[in-house]
Amino acid sequence: MKRTILSTALILLYNSFLFAQEDSSFFREKEMNEIVITATRTERKLSNVAVPVQLISNKTIQQSGSVRLNDILQEQTGLYLTSGGATSSAGGGVFGNGVQIQGLSPDYTLILVDGEPIIGRQGGVIDLTRITVGNIRKVEIVKGPSSSLYGSEAMGGVINIITDQPKHNQLLTSLRYGRFNALDANLTASLHHEKWALQVFGNRNSSQGFDFDKDIYGKTVDPFQNYTTQLRFNYKPTASTKISLSGRYFNEIQTNRFATSDLNTGQEVHIDGDGRIRDMNINPVLTQRFSDKVNSSLRFYFSRYEYEQNLVRQTDKTGYYYDFFQQDFYRAENQTDIRLQANNYLSIGGGLVQEKLNTTRYSVKRANDIQYVFLQDEWRVLDNLTLIGGLRYDANSAYQSRMSPKLALHWKVNDKLTVNSSYGAGFKAPDFRQLFLNFLNTAAGGYVVYGANEITISTLEEQQQQGVIKEILPRAYQLALLKPEISKGFNTGIKYEFNDRLNLALNLFRNDIENLIQNDIIAYRANNAPVYSYFNVSRAYTEGAELQGQYQLTGKIQLQGGYQYLITADKDDLKRIKAGTVYTRNEQTGYSTTLLRKDYAGLPNRSKHMANLKLFYYNDKKGWSGSVRTLYRSRWGTYDKEGNGVINRSDEFAKGFLQFNIAATKEIRSFRFQVGVDNLLNYRDPSNLPGMPGIQPYLSVSYSIPKNKNQ
């Protein structure tokens, strides 16, 4: 089957390019006139935005053959998806596919759907495979600290998934089948009236999983099936009033099977069970235009995320592990936009947030309250010069409050050259785990982990008197209320339009992060098991450059490319290296030498070089389209094996790789047929990329009444 699909894809792709000589300007998207919202929380042309923004259109998503959000994000310049998706061990196992922006961890990227946050982080990661692209209109990516508008978790950037709006009566259905019995099906039904509109969307996604090693019990990636439904209703009682209501529900079941060792006997034990994820939200919005100069919106949002895992021993079906996690998120927010005199556009707003958490790992149910206000002024100083200043204040019941400023400049030097520069301060609040965890792991030696708000030195002293604690370490006397992790980010970029066919953009960035939260040992129990808690300790930075370009080869063929150069470091590691206190042992001779700065790899799981080159073709008259996308990632550090606290030896790196993806599409009346192959070179790395199964051919067909137009 793989050879048949591969041959078909190559033939269709070749045939589609034969039509490239015909003169048509349909393919060239006028991206600079696209409207973006995420960068300023107001509608602005992409060409007028002062911060680094990437836009992924519905057309690009379709031509790439993507089905989940991680599929399309991994092909974008400057984004790297952390590997996940392997089999789920006790406690949730691998945390899934998160996204790095400018070298900052997935913990620091805020994921939004229609401007509202996706909750349910596992180990700090929002698993992007939870989000289908079946009803996505576009994706907006803002790089750099964005806490002045969005608060916590936007320390590295924001990804806003904007879904379809019901604009006309339509029925759209699609079905895709690929390797490992991977099935993805979509159904969208829309009704549009003069004053109201309704849309219902459904998606089913499933796979039988895959296995790299047949000798090990279970699979590398477990079988799963999930369902997504979304309902949207819009109502305009008057020309100046709009009421909208949307709701989303996601449900996934994963079959878990894996082998582990019995702590008492040391023998291999086979574990069976299942994990279930439920994710739901509802979002009513009232928008009122009071005049041509004043517009206001009132938004309410509720979201619940649940994860439940129940594992048993295969032999006697006795309980092995049970985990339950439930997070609730409530928010009410108002934003008012005012057009002032002297070319000023003012946005002011505020809101209330309440978060609740109920889990088997915390001693009691937990809650957190947040109040915030934000202000942003966009001042058009000259016809070609715009300044943006913003400020947000977050008051939190569980951690120290935070002020987040932003300043940005947009200067259109001439018709060809544009300069952007921005500074922003971002922050990430300590999560519930770091604040409230109270976990005794009896299955792994009896170690204990306390959140910073769950333990005090007096409590440890009481436990020592009771004989529970054997030794209190000096670190315990530094227990304190956690501060938010903070970053200061600078971005400076230029864009040059050589002509109607060619443009290039260069962006330089630097992010300095302080108060990074890490765990440390504070005491030892009577059985010598460690006791952990959390502290603000580390400092780090990421810096680099991004280069992106587009070249219109013909009216129907466009070449896109991007490259990121990235340097990262833990500042404390650099200090130790400079002082000459870090040593490395030669693997061949066994001799130890002082580690040099040039041999230090920086933060783990970051590549110094990443690049992409993509060729897109579209012929509306003939109904052909196709794409060839090439992705490159250089080697990256994994973890310290030597014990010197840094990554420097060759055996501490994962190999770089090259990936090819191709797709070809033919439209016939209301039908759309697509054949494609992801990972054409069949690259695999089970140890470092467990979620990459090798070559993945697929076939898909869609049907639309009336004929669907790319948005």
Tell me the pLDDT tens digit for each residue of 163-173.
Answer: 999 999 999 99
Does 184 reside within a domain? no
Does 125 reside within a domain? no
482-530 confidence digits (pLDDT tens): 888 889 999 999 999 999 899 999 999 999 999 888 788 899 998 888 9
Cα–Cα distance, 679 to 420 (Å, whole number): 36
User: Number of helices (H) and strands (E), helices first, in the chain?
Assistant: 7, 38
Q: What is the pLDDT of residue 710?
A: 52
| Residue 321 or 123, more confident | 321
Helix (H, G, I), strand (E, B) or coil at 710: coil
Q: Is pLDDT at 373 greater than 90 in this prediction?
A: yes
Q: What single string gives the DSSP state of each residue in 395-426?
A: EESSS--EEEEEEEEEEE-SSSEEEEEEEEEE
Does 57 reside within a domain? no
58-67, 89-98, 246-255, 392-401: the lowest-pLDDT one: 89-98
Could you tell me the pLDDT band of residue 93, with boundaries at 50, 70 and 90? very low
Q: Is pLDDT at 537 greater than 90 in this prediction?
A: no
* Nearest residue to 180 (alpha-carbon basis) of 681, 678, 629: 678
Q: What single string gives the DSSP state of each residue in 3-47?
A: HHHHHHHHHHHHHHHHGGGS---SS---GGG-EE-TTTTS-EEGG
Q: Let me know: does 118 contact 131? Beta carbons within 8 Å.
A: yes
Q: What is the largest CA-CA distance in the chain?
A: 86
Q: Is pLDDT at 42 greater than 70 in this prediction?
A: yes
Section 262-266 average pLDDT:
66
Q: Is pLDDT at 346 greater than 90 in this prediction?
A: yes
Could you tell me the pLDDT band of residue 14, with boundaries at 50, 70 and 90? very low
Percentage, residues of the chain above pLDDT 70: 91
Q: What is the pLDDT of residue 711?
A: 47
Please classify residue 335 by burial: count the beta carbons closer than 10 Å to its beta carbon, then call 0-12 exposed, 13-18 middle and 19+ buried.
buried
Nearest 10 degrees: Cα torsion 247, 333, 357, 70 = 50
Q: Which amino acid is at 662?
A: I
Q: Let me know: does 486 contact 513? Beta carbons within 8 Å.
A: yes
Does 394 reside within a domain? yes
Domain count, the chain: 1
Q: Is pLDDT at 47 greater than 80 in this prediction?
A: no
Could you tell me the pLDDT band of residue 30, with boundaries at 50, 70 and 90? low
Q: What is the pLDDT of residue 709?
A: 57
Does 487 reside within a domain? yes
Q: Let me know: does 313 contact 271? Beta carbons within 8 Å.
A: yes
Q: Is pLDDT at 22 greater than 70 in this prediction?
A: no
Most confident range (mean pLDDT) of 22-26, 517-521, 616-620 is 616-620
Q: Let me know: does 669 contact 637? Beta carbons within 8 Å.
A: no
| Token pair 């409230």: residue | 436
Q: Is pLDDT at 440 greater than 90 in this prediction?
A: no
Section 404-408 average pLDDT:
94
Q: Let me know: does 245 contact 232? Beta carbons within 8 Å.
A: yes
Section 682-687 average pLDDT:
91
Does 18 reside within a domain? yes
Q: Are strands 636-637 and 657-668 parallel, antiparallel or unpaired?
A: unpaired
Helix (H, G, I), strand (E, B) or coil at 702: strand
Tokens representing residue 615 in the block: 């060729």
Q: What is the pLDDT of residue 24?
A: 37
Q: What is the pLDDT of residue 624?
A: 94
Q: How far is CA 571 from the centre of its chain?
A: 25
Q: What is the pLDDT of residue 557?
A: 94
* Domain around 323: 2-26+217-705
| Token pair 């000798």: residue | 215
Q: What is the pLDDT of residue 91?
A: 38
Q: Is pLDDT at 648 greater than 50 in this prediction?
A: yes
DSSP state of 648: -
| Token pair 């904007």: residue | 162
Helix (H, G, I), strand (E, B) or coil at 74: coil
Does 170 reside within a domain? no
Q: How far is CA 377 from the centre of its chain?
A: 28
Q: Let me know: does 256 contact 87? Beta carbons within 8 Å.
A: yes
CB neighbours of residue 64 within 10 Å: 21
Q: How far is CA 252 from the centre of its chain?
A: 19
Could you tell me the pLDDT band of residue 405, with boundaries at 50, 70 and 90? very high
Answer positive or negative: Cα dihedral of 580, 581, 587, 590.
positive
Q: Let me know: does 436 contact 454? Beta carbons within 8 Å.
A: yes
Section 445-461 average pLDDT:
87
657-681 confidence digits (pLDDT tens): 999 999 999 999 999 999 999 999 9
Q: What is the mean pLDDT of the chain?
A: 88
Does 151 reside within a domain? no
557-606 confidence digits (pLDDT tens): 999 999 999 999 999 999 999 999 998 988 778 788 999 999 999 988 89
Q: Let me know: does 662 contact 27? Beta carbons within 8 Å.
A: no
Put simply, whether the predicted model's pTM sits higher than 0.85 gets the answer yes
Cα–Cα distance, 109 to 107 (Å, whole number): 6
Q: What is the pLDDT of residue 300?
A: 98
Q: What is the pLDDT of residue 588?
A: 77
600-609 confidence digits (pLDDT tens): 999 888 999 9
| Residue 124 or 197, more confident | 197
351-365, 369-383, 436-450: the lowest-pLDDT one: 436-450
DSSP state of 588: T
Could you tell me the pLDDT band of residue 96, with boundaries at 50, 70 and 90? low
102-106, 296-300, 613-617: the lowest-pLDDT one: 102-106
* Nearest residue to 146 (alpha-carbon basis) of 390, 333, 482: 390
Section 180-193 average pLDDT:
96
Tokens representing residue 148 in the block: 């002045």
Q: Is pLDDT at 235 greater than 70 in this prediction?
A: yes
Q: What is the pLDDT of residue 589?
A: 80
Rounded CA Rg of the chain: 26
Q: What is the pLDDT of residue 706?
A: 83
* Nearest residue to 600 (alpha-carbon basis) of 623, 573, 581: 573
Answer positive or negative: Cα dihedral of 83, 86, 90, 95.
positive
Cα–Cα distance, 264 to 543 (Å, whole number): 48
Please classify residue 375 by burial: count the beta carbons closer than 10 Å to its beta carbon, then call 0-12 exposed, 13-18 middle and 19+ buried.
middle
* Nearest residue to 652 (alpha-carbon basis) of 604, 695, 609: 604
Q: Let me know: does 606 contact 657? Beta carbons within 8 Å.
A: no
Cα–Cα distance, 451 to 439 (Å, whole number): 9
Percentage, residues of the chain above pLDDT 90: 62
Q: What is the CATH number of the domain that holds 681?
A: 2.40.170.20
